[in-house]
Amino acid sequence: MQPSTGRDWSFGEWVCNHHGMPVGEPEVLRVGGVSVADAVAATGTPAYVYALDDVEAAYRRVAAAFAPMGAEVLYAVKANGNLAVLRRLAAAGCGFTVVSGGELTRVLAAGPTTGTVVLAGRGTSAEEHALAVRHGAVVHVQSADELAALGRVAAELGRPARVAIRLNPDVEAASPEALRTGHGDAAFGMPPEVAVDALGRMAAGAHPGLVPVGVHVHVGSQIRDPSGVASAVKVALDVIRAGRDAGLDLDWLDAGGGFPVDESGADVPEPEDFAALLAPLVEGTGVRLAVEPGRRLVASAGMLVTSVRHRLDRSHGRTVVVDAGMHHLLRPALYGATHRVVAVGGGSEDVAPTTVVGPCCEPGDVLARAAPLPALAPGDLVAVLDAGAYGMVMASNYNGHPRPAEVVVAGGEATVARRRETWDDLLAWET
Ligand code: LLP
């Protein structure tokens, strides 16, 4: 396996400068050892392409960083639920955290895993609770109401349900505002005193079908400073101690996800930096730590490949319309994310700042502004990099466009993992 750079795309012999821009002789863009053009030959575009070796390498890197403290890695399926991705991670021993019955169904379809599976949704339904309990998943509840609802489901099924409490630790994480979930105002989890109260009631015999195992915190995504996670873990340990004092046998501490990937190529804290801060906190406490990375395992392993449809004739610089847009990769429009966009066929002639827009009839359908691209013509392939997380899972059929295909590359071979949708598919759900 290659060393884990977290970036399996390359320009063949090109050397990338620290901005990720190629210098030197151009070659064609490759992913997982396969030329990107070959990878999408069977599906056409738009298509997401994921390098599975890179996904596994990223998992192994996080697992190794946290192994000294015996922590378990649970992949956050919301980042990318493709079955081939889940299968590869399950085979490597990764656990999973899901937020819905739909995601849990995917994990079950992907096949057996030796790792822990957690259902940690918000507004989880009785059907979703029941599916989790039947399959022995740990359920993370966010409110006293949800705890009672889960208790009823466990009683009806006559099966014990392992439960952990999602805390709101009131910690301000260094993550973009739209992705912050740990401050007091965030509508996630219980304040510590409510959690302690809930644990106390369980210790006193309320909800006899529930088996309390511990607590869960997740303070945000794209966390640029690991100290926010450390603060949340300290609050979680206090709650675990209070629960133990009440007589419960608690040992589960899920510290959440949020390990960052900068789409523009800037340096960010690595999993080892998070592990170094958490290790001394959990040492000697007898808790089993878990972490839930989504983005860090899949973002850099994936790209969205799209074709130039037309060049737009504008007075304000070079603009191309491609066949993927905000409905296929929402992150630039929704969060202002700057993903690097490169020409698949290389080309260093006539490079100029280029606006890359999608086919949606909305001014906000812009995939990239001022991307340094060579002169492009209709049919040329372009790749949006670091698009393996929160890409396809957030795609829609807006403007009546079918969603992209998904291709996986493993062992130097590209396989269609999900075919591109058709116009007929768009009608399939209506009576
Ligand atoms: N655990 C919980 C409870 C979560 O809510 C999340 C993400 C994760 C783990 C995984 O976080 P990660 O390691 O991927 O940062 N759509 C946004 C990201 C939303 C994240 C939501 N929760 C984006 O495209 O940036």
Per-residue pLDDT tens for 354-394? Answer: 999 999 999 999 999 999 999 999 999 999 999 999 999 99
At residue 76, the 3 state secondary structure works out as strand
| Residue nearest atom 23 in ligand 1 by C-alpha distance | 390
Distance from residue 387's CA to the centre of ligand 1 (Å): 14
More confident residue, 130 or 23: 130
| Catalytic residue chosen out of the listed positions 16, 94, 360, 361 | 361
Binding site membership of 182 for ligand 1 (Cβ less than 6 Å) = no
User: Which H or E element spans position 306?
Assistant: strand 302-312
Average pLDDT over residues 206-213: 96
Distance from residue 420's CA to the centre of ligand 1 (Å): 26
At residue 379, the 3 state secondary structure works out as coil
- Beta-bridged to residue 304, according to DSSP, are 48, 384
Residue showing tokens 């303070």: 219
Give the position, in ligand 1's atom list, of the atom nearest the Cα of 260: 15
**49 near 31, Cβ under 8 Å?**
yes
Distance from residue 294's CA to the centre of ligand 1 (Å): 6
pLDDT of residue 11: 53
Q: Say if pTM beats, i.e. exceeds, 0.85.
A: yes
Q: Which mutation among 253, 289, 295, 384 tests ligand 1's pocket best, with the greatest number of atoms within 8 A of CB? A: 295
Our answer to whether residue 16 is catalytic in this structure is no
Average pLDDT over residues 204-230: 96
pLDDT of residue 173: 86
Binding site membership of 120 for ligand 1 (Cβ less than 6 Å) = yes
pLDDT of residue 174: 86
Residue 58 has pLDDT above 50, yes or no: yes
| Residue nearest atom 9 in ligand 1 by C-alpha distance | 257
Binding site membership of 74 for ligand 1 (Cβ less than 6 Å) = no
Residue showing tokens 């030197």: 24
Structure tokens belonging to residue 309: 């449809």
pLDDT of residue 316: 83
Average pLDDT over residues 148-174: 95
Average pLDDT over residues 200-212: 97
pLDDT of residue 180: 86
How does the average pLDDT of the chain come out, rounded? 93
Residue 17 has pLDDT above 80, yes or no: no
**2 near 57, Cβ under 8 Å?**
yes
**214 near 240, Cβ under 8 Å?**
yes
- Residues contacting 203, CB < 8 A, separation 6+: 212, 243, 246, 247, 248
Cα 4 from Cα 224, distance rounded (Å): 20
Distance from residue 119's CA to the centre of ligand 1 (Å): 14
Binding site membership of 173 for ligand 1 (Cβ less than 6 Å) = no
Tell me the percentage of the chain whose pLDDT exceeds 90: 87
pLDDT of residue 21: 44
Distance from residue 79's CA to the centre of ligand 1 (Å): 7
Cα 380 from Cα 356, distance rounded (Å): 13
More confident residue, 199 or 349: 199
Average pLDDT over residues 16-21: 39
| Residue nearest atom 8 in ligand 1 by C-alpha distance | 257
Residue 6 has pLDDT above 80, yes or no: no
pLDDT of residue 15: 37
Average pLDDT over residues 261-282: 95
Residue 352 has pLDDT above 70, yes or no: yes
Per-residue pLDDT tens for 61-103? Answer: 999 999 999 999 999 999 999 999 999 999 999 999 999 999 9
Give the position, in ligand 1's atom list, of the atom nearest the Cα of 390: 24
- Residues contacting 356, CB < 8 A, separation 6+: 319, 320, 322, 341, 366, 367, 368, 371, 373, 382
Binding site membership of 294 for ligand 1 (Cβ less than 6 Å) = yes
Predicted confidence band of residue 10 (pLDDT cuts 50, 70, 90): low
Quick one: which of 387, 321, 383 has its CA closest to 357? 321
Exposure string of 4-22, with b = 16+ CB inside 10 Å and e = fewer, is bebbbbbbeebeeeeebeb
pLDDT of residue 24: 45
| Residue nearest atom 3 in ligand 1 by C-alpha distance | 218
Residue 152 has pLDDT above 90, yes or no: yes
Give the position, in ligand 1's atom list, of the atom nearest the Cα of 223: 15
Average pLDDT over residues 139-168: 97
DSSP string, 4-46: --S--EE-TT-EE-TTS-EESS----EETTEEHHHHTTTT-SS
pLDDT of residue 3: 33
Give the position, in ligand 1's atom list, of the atom nearest the Cα of 176: 25
Residue 293 has pLDDT above 70, yes or no: yes
Binding site membership of 166 for ligand 1 (Cβ less than 6 Å) = no
Binding site membership of 155 for ligand 1 (Cβ less than 6 Å) = no
Give the position, in ligand 1's atom list, of the atom nearest the Cα of 216: 3
Exposure string of 405-420, with b = 16+ CB inside 10 Å and e = fewer, is bbbbbbeeebebbbeb
Distance from residue 121's CA to the centre of ligand 1 (Å): 12
